[in-house]
Each structure stands twice: as structure tokens, then as C-alpha cells.
Amino acid sequence: MQAENDAKEGADFSAAKHCRMELLLQQSVGHAESAFKHCKTTHESLKEMNSKQVADVSSLVKSACDNNEEHDTEVDSARTAAEKDVAKNSDEIIQQIDRMSEDEKVSVSQILDNVKTHEISLESFQQDHCFQARCIEDKAQETFQQRYMEYEPTGTTPCKSEPEVPTKATIESLRAKPVESLVEAFRENNSYESFAAKESKPQQLTRSPLSQVN
């Protein structure tokens, strides 16, 4: 009895396994057919695309060849016309050179004379410039020697000038001011007019030297 049950279970298991294998085989066959159809469709699409591309390339090549032939024809025509124009213009230029009048020769001669005159004027101007520069240099040296001569003792005691040292409050007020106002004040205090005014002020009188203590 047990053996019959085992045999029956084995037969059922074998049948189920056989059914399972048959189902898997059918699925595999279905996938293979689907893959074959897809491959066939892809191949046909590629073939059609290649045919279209070949046709397009052939058309482009033919058009390019036609354009090249047309371009060669135009170039040959333009070259022929240019050669004719060059030959014609060359003949006209040669004739114009041969027919050059005496007036043109006179004009060239006058231009050369004017150039020579300008050259002489430039040489004279250069000489005058050198002479004036030398005079200016001599005058500058003379002025420098007169106004800025070395100090010589005069027997008088010079006045003592105390340096102007700004206070702390002045420095702080200057720091608080904007840069534009400081620059404007500096320009006003150091302009050419203020410098000329300072130069025009009479020099301070020096006091006589101290008498010798007995």
C-alpha cells in the first residue's frame, strides 16, 4: 500500500515536472520567435535606411559634380575675360605712358624743386632750434647759479624758524574729512598763484649778531 502511494506520488511529481518543462519550452520558443521577428524587422529597417542613404549620397555626389563642372565653366569664362581686359588695359597704359606730355615732366621737376626748398628750410630751422636751445641752456645755468648759489657766511645770525607740527586734534579732523576735500584743499594751498605769492613776499629781516659779552 505504501509502495503504491509512493509510486503514485512519484508519477504525479514526474507529470508535474514534465508539464513545467513543456511550459518553459513553449515560452522559450515564443521568445525565440519574437526575437527573430524583431531581428527581421530591424534588418529590414536598416536595409531601407541604407538604401535611402545611398540614394541621397548619390544625389549629393551628382549635384556636386554638376556644380563643379558649372564652376569650372564659369572660371574659364572669367579667366578668358580677365586675360582680354589685362591685354587691353596694358595696351592703353603703354599708350598713355608714351603720350605723357611735357607739362607732366615740368610738374615733376617743380615738385623736386619744392622738396629741395623744404629741405633747406628744415636745415635752417634745425640750426635755429639748436641755437635757441643752447641759449636757453646757458640762461638756465646762469639763473641757477645766481638764485641757488652756495651759502656764504654774512656775519648775521639767521632767524630761527620753528617747524609747523600739527596737533592731535588737527590730525583727527583731517582723518575725518573725505579724500576729495583734502585733495581740493591741497590744490588750493599749493597752486601756482599761492607759490607766486609766497615768492613775492619780502624775506624776513635778519637780526644783527649778538654783541660779545665782556
Domain boundaries, the chain: 103-144
| 37-94: pLDDT as tens digits | 999 899 888 888 888 888 888 889 999 999 999 999 999 999 999 988 888 888 888 8
Concatenating the DSSP letter of every residue in 73-118 gives HHHHHHHHHHHHHHHHHHHHHHHHHHT--HHHHHHHHHHHHHHHHH
C-alpha cell at 124: 635752417
CA distance 3 to 5: 5
CA dihedral of residues 109, 111, 115, 117 (deg, nearest 10): 80
Give pTM, 2 decimals: 0.27
- Residues 157, 208: Cα–Cα separation, whole Å: 6
Contacts of residue 158, defined as CB under 8 A and 6 or more positions apart, other chains included, come to 206
Radius of gyration of the chain from Cα atoms? 57
Q: What CA–CA distance (Å, rounded) separates 51 from 53? A: 5
Q: From first to last of its 214 residues, what are the pLDDT tens digits of the chain?
A: 677 777 777 777 788 888 888 888 888 888 898 899 999 899 888 888 888 888 888 889 999 999 999 999 999 999 999 988 888 888 888 887 777 777 787 888 899 999 999 999 999 888 888 888 888 888 888 777 765 555 555 556 656 556 666 777 887 777 777 878 878 877 887 765 554 555 454 444 444 444 444 4
* CA atoms of 181 and 90, how far apart (whole Å): 75
